[in-house]
């Protein structure tokens, strides 16, 4: 297992959430969280880097043409990892609804084995507990997992001037037997670029 880091300027996403969160909630009946943004960006990147979306089955590498995204959810009994099925085909409100549904079932102890197995890629979010970053452990048989740190305002150099930006660290742990370092860095860079240059409709 190897790990690579990057950081994302979340100002574009923060601005979008501030502008549309009330309309989003009124229209879809679910809040506009960060998970839908990260999930959409990850699904786009996985299309370009299918190796990161692979699984290991004994001595075979299985490549998936769909994105079943496992998300870490805290429950009274500890972390569980339910799966958002075919996330690449879901809209922003559909992803948010799935996150709420799975998190609620997890807290209530009602997740089925089927709902917690079969993911192709995993996301963990230590940032919701204040963690600046972490080294996530691969959720086998996946070959990669992305950790999302806490969003914090930090001074950054923008156009040769100091500016305050809401920044977040991304941490990708990956199985070097399948994913090499170049692919890992490019994958995280693609997620970063998509988030910082968001062009997708959210309503």
Confirm whether 159 is a catalytic residue.
Answer: no
Q: CA 124, 71, 61, 88: dihedral to nearest 10 degrees?
A: -120
Kindly state the tokens that stand for 136: 């996530």
Rounded Cα gap, residues 66 and 42, in angstroms: 12
∠ CA 106-20-165 to the nearest 5 degrees? 85
> Are 117 and 68 in contact, with CB atoms under 8 Å apart?
no
Rounded Cα gap, residues 29 and 185, in angstroms: 37
DSSP, collapsed to helix, strand or coil, labels residue 155 as strand
> Are 18 and 24 in contact, with CB atoms under 8 Å apart?
no
Which H/E stretch holds residue 189?
helix 181-196
- Alpha helices, DSSP H, located in 49-159: 92-107
Out of 48, 59, 176, 185, which one is annotated catalytic?
176
Confirm whether 180 is a catalytic residue.
Answer: yes
Among 170, 201, 190, 196, which Cα is nearest to 7's? Answer: 170
Indicate the pairing of strand 69-71 with strand 83-84.
antiparallel
- Positions annotated as catalytic residues are 176, 180
């Amino acid at each position: 297992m190897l790990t690579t880091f990057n950081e994302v300027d979340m100002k574009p996403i923060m601005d979008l959430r501030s502008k549309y969160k009330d309309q989003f909630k009124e229209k879809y009946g679910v809040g506009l969280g960060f998970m839908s943004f990260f999930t959409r960006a990850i699904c786009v990147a996985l299309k370009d880097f299918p190796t990161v979306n692979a699984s290991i089955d004994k001595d075979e590498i299985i490549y998936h043409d769909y994105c079943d995204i496992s998300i870490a959810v805290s429950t009274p009994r500890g972390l569980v990892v339910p799966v958002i099925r075919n996330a690449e085909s879901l809209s922003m409100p559909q992803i948010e609804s799935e996150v709420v549904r799975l998190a609620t079932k997890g807290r209530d102890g009602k997740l089925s084995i089927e709902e917690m197995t079969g993911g192709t890629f995993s996301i963990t979010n230590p940032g919701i507990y204040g963690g600046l970053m972490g080294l996530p452990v691969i959720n086998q048989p996946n070959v990669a997992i992305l950790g999302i740190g806490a969003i914090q305002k930090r001074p950054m150099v923008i156009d040769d001037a100091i500016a305050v930006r809401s920044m977040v660290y991304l941490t990708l742990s990956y199985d070097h037997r399948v994913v090499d370092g170049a692919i890992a860095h490019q994958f995280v860079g693609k997620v970063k670029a998509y988030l910082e240059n968001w062009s997708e409709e959210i309503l």
